[in-house]
Each structure stands twice: as structure tokens, then as C-alpha cells.
Structure 1
Amino acid sequence: MSSTTSGTTTGSPGPTFDPYDNTPELIPLRTAAQAGDWPAVRAFAARLDSADKISAVSSVLAEIPGVETFLERAVAELPGDPLPRTLLAERYVHIGWDIRSGARAQNVSQDQFAQFHSWLRRAEQLLIDVCAEQPAYTPAWTVRLTTARGLQLGQAEARRRYDRLAAHHPHHYRAQTQLLQQLCPKWGGTWEAAHGFARECATAAPDGSTSAALVAVAHIEHWLDLDSPEDTAYLRGLPVRDDLRFAAQVSVLHPGYRPDWYSVGAHSVFAFAFSVGGHHADAARHFAFLGDRATEFPWQYAGDPKGSFLKFRKLATQA
């Protein structure tokens, strides 16, 4: 996620991956959450003007240890309010995923899976009720895409959930990134489905929408799945380069694009994909926007995220 202005490289040792550095508007939310101040968290959310921002808030709150304590109280006190239940559900998902870890399934123990699924089922029960009561509540459907994946409910169920969400909010970038993960082979999908969905989102969205960044995400995921040297050859290929160029031009580089809380992530995936593919001149405009900001995804795939960012940024400025 990002703030709404471009970054600067002046006097800085390198990129920050902290969402609160990149989006200072979120700092009061973190302060309130760490203090267990539900009224302040609720007031912060009430001032937001889009479902995209509520989903962003849900994501960052879920990473703050201990917030489940005051969120559980809020759920008990406000049984008809979808916000505390959605925030609590995403926190439960985060707790469960921490236990599971990011390892491939064959490297996760039976006990880890049992605890993981237990937390996700708790989240799912909260979300089922929210979606039944308020079927247009996009943030809850977004989290249900994650629970569908973690509980291995399958491609058809994940797509059903996304379609329910998209009926009310057709270009919700965070939801799109969640379904894209489901469509990758590692979660039972295919590359044809993953790339097809990314292109579908890119072409359906208005010019200047973040959605076309999904094209870059899909190519990065495909690159990750390949062995060396095939992986490097994949991103170096001209068809992939041209696909990335088109996606960037209709999204974050379009004259009508307006930076938002997802912009640092979107520019990060383009900068990364172009850089790993050796297309440094194409990466330059994305690094110019980023300055000293970046998101953990996809830079954690570089081994040394900070060092790789600095190396690639230097190559881009010299291209």
C-alpha cells in the first residue's frame, strides 16, 4: 500500500517495507489498535470513502498482535455490525496462517494444519453470518477468498465467492489478488486460468485502474514456479515484456491513474518483474514513483530484498 505522493531517495539508506512508513495516514489506526481503543478504530474506518480502504485497514490490523482481544469485545457489544466481525475474522486468519507458515504443504505438519484450519473455521463462521446479513459487504467477501483457499474449498467455490463480491465491486484489487493466488497451480489451479484471470481483470477495468497490475503478479508467480535457468528466460522473453508494458500503460502509468493505498504494491510488482527480466529502462518509471518505498511482496522473493531493490533501482536509473 502507499501514500498518495511519490517517494524520494534523498539521503536515505534504502527502501522501507513498513506499510506505516509508506502510508502515514494509517499511523493513527495503528496507535488506536495497539491501545485497544475500539471507538477510535471504528471512527477511523467510518471516515474512509471506499471498500478498498476498509479492506486495506483489515489487512494491516490483522498483523498487530493482540488486537483480537478488543475486537472480540466489540463483536460481543455490536452483534449487528459487520466491521468488527470482519476485522476479527481477518485477525483469526492471520493467526492461523502464521501457525501454518508460508511453506509448501508437504513441509507443514499435521498439527500445524489442524490449528490452521481451526482458526480459519472460526473466521469463516463470522464471515458467513456477515455475508448472509449484508451480501454487498465487500471486505467480508475478500477475507472469505482467503479462507476458501486455506480450507481447500476448491476453485469453483473460490470463484463463486469472487463473483458475489464482483457483482457489487467489480474492480476490487485486493480481492482480485486473492483469487489470483487460488488460480495458480500451487493452490490447484493452472497457469492458463491464472493468466486468463489477470488479463480479464486488466481489460475489464477502466484505464487508470490498479487492476492491470495483476498481470505482473501472475508473471511473477509463474517465474517463481520455474527452475533455473528457465525462470530467468521466462521474464526476459519479449512476449512477457510486452504483456507487462501493456499492463503498466493501462494502469499505474496511465495519465488517469490516481495513486492510492495500493500504489506502492502495484509499482513494486512492475519494478520487480521488469528488473528480474533485465528490462531496466521499463522499470525506471516504477522506481521513480517508489523512491525509498516498497512492499514485502514481491521483494521477499529476491533473497535479499533491500539489496536487490537497491541494485535494480541503480540499474534502472542508469538504463
Structure 2
Amino acid sequence: MGESTVGGGTPLVTDPFDAEPGLAPLRTAAWDGDWAATRAFFEEVSSPADVSFAAALLAGVDRTEWYLEKAAKAEPADPLPRTLLAERYIHLGWRARGRGPGEEVSRDQAELFHDWLRKAELLLIEVCAEHPAYVPAWTARLETARGLVLGQSEARRRYDRLAEHHPHHFRAQSHLLQQLCPKWGGSWEAAHGFAQECTNAAPDGSLAGVLVAQAHIEHCVDLSSAKVTEYLRDVAVRNDLRHAARISVLHPQHRPGWHRIDGHSTFALAFSLGGHLEDAARHFTALGDSASESFWRYLPDWKTRFTEYRTAAPATV
């Protein structure tokens, strides 16, 4: 699970639980349906951004809703079990919908998707009302806002409430960036503008610069395949990516954490597609044999493409 041998080489590690040893206790607790061990894991996580990251991972572990539902009932005043359960419902909703464009989603898929998201939203409304500064719940509500098509202003309102308490929350920013893309009712001006806004406001070494690469990759998805390379080869786009990488994941003050694989993978993709293999090489080196599928999955047979680009990149350095 989480590994794939591509091209006869070293296995590519794509499961964060395998790539980050510190996350292993959470997966074990989830497999065992052990709420006490799950709680103990999250009690050791100090950053709200890391809580949200781990919550999203836990949501992807099969059948966890059973023990999280019990925990939410047993501890009704605690925001953590309800937020984790909501994240699981959100995951189940997206699984039911599928990741394709809206026109490919059937009516039955859409109904089931919205059913799961409404269940999550009800839990999160309670949590945010009782604990208005609980950032992980507000983060999850950005995803329900998007899936339930509540609109740009409502998504921004939720983000602003979150940012009052944690202004540089990477997962929340990434969620709002998705909302600001045209496919969810936004515009490229809004999406790129938000990415730059977050990057400019964040301290050097933060993850915010990764949003710049995310915005450019999302923009490419809107283009014909023939236009993607042209777009990413543009000198202004290349320089934008270089600057964003330099002040974020490549900055001396950057402290690699659980988001490191997502960050470096995103830059590696953007630079590779643009033919900037020397720039991509630094990110492939940082990744080693690990990779995140989050944006690479836009490519057919992405693991093979990842390995091909990674093999080509060092020759230019």
C-alpha cells in the first residue's frame, strides 16, 4: 500500500503514512479503531495546520467512521471527534462523487455526495458555534462550502473567520484557492491574486509559496494539452515559480514538516511540465523516493511520468 515500483527502479512511496514515520501511530490507531490512541496522537500535535493535515489523512482510512461516530457520541463537548468524523464524511462524499468535472458526475453520485457533505456540515456548524476559534473545523467547512456550492462570498467569510486565529493556515488557503478557480465559480485573476496575497503576507520559509505553483497548475488544467507547455515555459510564469519556491520550501528558514512532500511535489510538477528541469531537480532531490499524487494525478499514468521527469532532471544540474 502506498508504494509503486516504476520502471524497475526503487519503489515510489506515495502514501504519507509510509513517507512520514511520525504519522504511523495514527494509522495504527485507525486500523485498530482505537479512539484513546487517536486522541493521544492529536494531543501531541501542536499546530492547527498539522491537525488539519492529519485529520485529512485519517479520513482516508477505510471504515474509520464507525469508531469516530462512537467517540463523537461519547464526548459530545469535545470538538476533535466531531471534526474528525466530519472530515471522514467529506472524504466519503468526494469518493462517491469522483474527481472528474461536474458534467461527468451522475445525478445519483451528486445526491450521495451532497448527503455526505450535509452530514459533515451539521457537525461542523455545531463545533464552530461552540468553539469559534477551532481552526480545524473552519478548515473542513471550506471544503463543505465548495462541495455544497455555497458560493464565493460564503467561502471567503469562512476563511476570514479562520484567518482571525491562524492567518497562514496552508490547507485552508489551498481549499480557498480551489474555490477561487473558474471551475468553482471564481476566476483566474482571483485565484492567482489570492496565491500572491498569501505568499506576500507570509513569513519567509512558510508554505504559502506553494499556492503560486498550485494556481499555475490549475490554470494549465483549463488549457489544451498543446498550450500547457507554452504557458509554463513563459518567462514570467517561470520566474513567478522560481520566486515562490525560493521564499518557501527552498528558503533557509523553511522547516520541513508533514506538508513537505506536497510542496516539493507541486513545484516539481510545475517546473517539469514547463521544461525547467534544473529547477525541478532541487525538488526531486528533496523528495527522494517519495511523491504526492495531489496534483500529479492530473497526468495520465502519473507515477511513470514522475519517474521519467525525476530521472531526466539531474542531468541538467
Shorter-chain TM-score range = over 0.9
8 Å Cα contact 1:32/1:41 also seen in 2: yes
Structure 1 runs of 4+ with >6 Å offset: none
Q: Distance in 2 between matches of 1:12 and 1:165?
A: 43
2:17 pairs with 1:28: no
Q: TM-score, normalised by structure 2?
A: 0.96
Q: What is the aligned partner in structure 2 of residue 282 from structure 1? A: 279
Q: What is the aligned partner in structure 1 of residue 314 from structure 2? A: 317
Q: What is the aligned partner in structure 1 of residue 118 from structure 2? A: 121
Out of 298, 301, 305, the position equivalent to 1:301 is 298
Q: Deviations over 1:214-241 (max 9, x none)?
A: 0000000001110131121001111110
Q: What is the aligned partner in structure 2 of residue 240 from structure 1? A: 237
Which amino acid in the other structure matches residue 241 of structure 1? R
Q: TM-score, normalised by structure 1?
A: 0.95
2:63 pairs with 1:66: yes
Q: What is the aligned partner in structure 1 of residue 200 from structure 2? A: 203
2:141 pairs with 1:144: yes
Q: What is the aligned partner in structure 1 of residue 4 from structure 2? A: none
Out of 176, 180, 185, the position equivalent to 1:188 is 185
Pairing of 1:43-192 with structure 2 (within 5 A): 43-192=40-189
Q: Distance in 2 between matches of 1:104 and 1:265?
A: 22
Question: How far does residue 311 in structure 1 lie from its aligned partner after superposition?
Answer: 1.1
Which amino acid in the other structure matches residue 210 of structure 2? A
Q: Deviations over 1:16-41 (max 9, x none)?
A: 11111211111111111111100110
Q: Deviations over 1:106-131 (max 9, x none)?
A: 11111111111111111001000100
Q: Deviations over 1:146-186 (max 9, x none)?
A: 00000000000000000000110000001111000000011
Q: Distance in 1 between matches of 2:9 and 2:154?
A: 46
Q: Distance in 2 between matches of 1:98 and 1:296?
A: 16
Q: Distance in 2 between matches of 1:232 and 1:122?
A: 41
Question: How far does residue 139 in structure 1 lie from its aligned partner after superposition?
Answer: 0.5
Q: Distance in 1 between matches of 2:51 and 2:85?
A: 13
| SS at structure 1 position matched to 2:225 | coil
| SS at structure 1 position matched to 2:209 | helix
Q: Distance in 2 between matches of 1:211 and 1:261?
A: 14
Q: Distance in 2 between matches of 1:153 and 1:195?
A: 21
Which structure has the higher relative contact order (CA within 8 Å, separation 6+)? Answer: 1
8 Å Cα contact 2:228/2:273 also seen in 1: no
Q: How many residues align?
A: 309
Q: Distance in 1 between matches of 2:271 and 2:105?
A: 33
Q: Distance in 1 between matches of 2:58 and 2:196?
A: 30
Q: RMSD in angstroms over aligned alpha carbons?
A: 1.0
Which amino acid in the other structure matches residue 115 of structure 1? L
Question: How far does residue 14 in structure 1 lie from its aligned partner after superposition?
Answer: 4.1
Identity %: 59
Unpaired stretches in structure 2, ≥5 consecutive residues = 1-7
Q: Distance in 2 between matches of 1:44 and 1:198?
A: 31
8 Å Cα contact 1:202/1:247 also seen in 2: yes
